[in-house]
Chains A and B, each alone.
Chain A
Amino acid sequence: MSETPLIGDLGGTPGAPLSGARIGVITFPGTLDDRDAARAVKLAGATPIPLWHADSDLGDVDAVVLPGGFSYGDYLRAGAIARFAPLMAKIVDAANSDAKLPVLGICNGFQILTEAHLLPGSMIKNDHLKFICRDQTLRVENNQTAWTNQFDEGQEITVVLKNQDGQYVADEKTLDELEGEGRVAFRYVGWNPNGSRRGIAGITNAAGNVVGLMPHPEHAVEPGFGPLGADGHYSTDGLGFFASVLSRLVEAK
């Protein structure tokens, strides 16, 4: 498969050793944000590798992004059918292997990761029942993961939130474990936009290589096109996710 064409001039794409990093962006039927995710990967200085859900192998990628959208129309449950895509079995194996493939699930991608049992809990409809699209401030609660290590602990970042089934739920025992083990990666700041338990916006697995969140970092990577940050400037906070995984990959080499 050829590289996803990207809109716009990315002239001056950072070269450096990092551009050798290959970050897969998987597309399911109904995925919407694969182009934006690929673009974010490129802006961060890595090479996006388009992956198709029915592919039989991961094409030697160094990390994988499961982008947002409505895979299979959210039929059955959000992410429930995508979870059984041929490539997902490979991703689950690679994420759990000694190599600990970094995996980032955004929005629908987060839902797929919970359905695939890579992350605990689940997402149900927003408590107010409406689709929501807004600039959302998050607090980085864990800056030790493959996708958050370039943030400061407690740093507040602003990215876009847009979803219908964004209410994170899990039983109390699971929530206590997540909190106790520092596996709450992001929490909503100022307002809980969907009724998520304990204001949880994103979580990580115990190893820190798999991270899922409802808001969309890939939409906050370019000045002028992202959300308005708390300081009144267009936020590019989303780049931190991709810079983090590149940093982790360089360390691992």
Chain B
Amino acid sequence: MPRIVVDVMPKPEILDPQGKAIVGALPRLGFTAFGGVRQGKRFELTVEGPVTDQILEQAREAAATMLSNPVIEDVVNVEVLAEDAGSEAAAEDLAAPTEAE
């Protein structure tokens, strides 16, 4: 089943208390290289059948109206995950959609 991935992040100007707590805890485990952490959300929308432009548009609309709150969050990514994708690298770029099976 093809999946559409939606990534949502807290707006840059909004304090992210969860990210702050994480960045405070990292050095305790010896991870000292990271000066900041921001925690976002990743949604995977499973599609029955091929991902058409119309379905993608629906995903974008859902991302803007329900999956994110524009007061505090930005939708930073909406993309189709290749069916056999095992990694991010296999994700298809929406700017050049390939023929879905």
Least CB distance from B28 to A in Å reads 16
Does B72 lie within 8 Å of A124, measured CB to CB? Answer: yes
A127 CB within 8 Å of chain B: yes
**Which residues on B are within 8 Å of A, measured CB to CB?**
10, 13-15, 17-18, 21, 66-67, 69, 71-72
Alpha-carbon gap, A120 to B69, bound state (A): 12
A94 CB within 8 Å of chain B: no
A170 CB within 8 Å of chain B: yes
Does B17 lie within 8 Å of A127, measured CB to CB? Answer: yes
Chain B residues contacting A128 (CB-CB under 8 Å) are 17
Alpha-carbon gap, A76 to B100, bound state (A): 29
Least CB distance from A120 to B in Å reads 8
Select B18's contact among A120, A121, A129, A171, beta carbons within 8 Å: A129
Does A121 lie within 8 Å of B71, measured CB to CB? Answer: yes
| Proximity bits, A110-134, B CB within 8 Å = 1, else 0 | 0000110000111011111100000
Q: Which A58-82 residues sit within 8 Å CB-CB of chain B?
A: 76-77, 80
Alpha-carbon gap, A125 to B18, bound state (A): 8
Alpha-carbon gap, A102 to B10, bound state (A): 32
Least CB distance from B43 to A in Å reads 9
Chain A residues contacting B10 (CB-CB under 8 Å) are 124
Alpha-carbon gap, A170 to B72, bound state (A): 8
Alpha-carbon gap, A124 to B72, bound state (A): 8
Chain A residues contacting B15 (CB-CB under 8 Å) are 124, 127, 169, 195
A235 CB within 8 Å of chain B: no
Q: Which A146-197 residues sit within 8 Å CB-CB of chain B?
A: 167, 169-171, 195
Least CB distance from A178 to B in Å reads 13
Chain A residues contacting B69 (CB-CB under 8 Å) are 77, 80, 115, 122
Chain A residues contacting B71 (CB-CB under 8 Å) are 114, 120-122, 169-171
Nearest B residue to A197, CB-CB: B15
Interface centre among B10, B13, B18, B69 (most CB of A within 10 A): B69
A225 CB within 8 Å of chain B: no
Interface centre among B15, B66, B71, B72 (most CB of A within 10 A): B71
Pairs across A and B, CB under 8 Å, 28 listed: A76-B66, A76-B67, A77-B69, A80-B66, A80-B69, A84-B66, A114-B71, A115-B69, A120-B71, A121-B71, A122-B71, A122-B72, A124-B10, A124-B14, A124-B15, A124-B17, A125-B18, A126-B17, A127-B15, A127-B17, A128-B17, A129-B17, A129-B21, A169-B15, A169-B71, A171-B71, A195-B15, A195-B17
Nearest B residue to A117, CB-CB: B71
List the 7 closest A-B pairs by CB distance, nearest first: A122-B71, A125-B17, A122-B72, A129-B17, A129-B21, A127-B17, A122-B69
Chain B residues contacting A76 (CB-CB under 8 Å) are 66-67
Given A114-B71, A122-B71, A124-B72: A169 in contact with B66 (beta carbons within 8 A): no
Chain B residues contacting A115 (CB-CB under 8 Å) are 69
Alpha-carbon gap, A177 to B21, bound state (A): 32
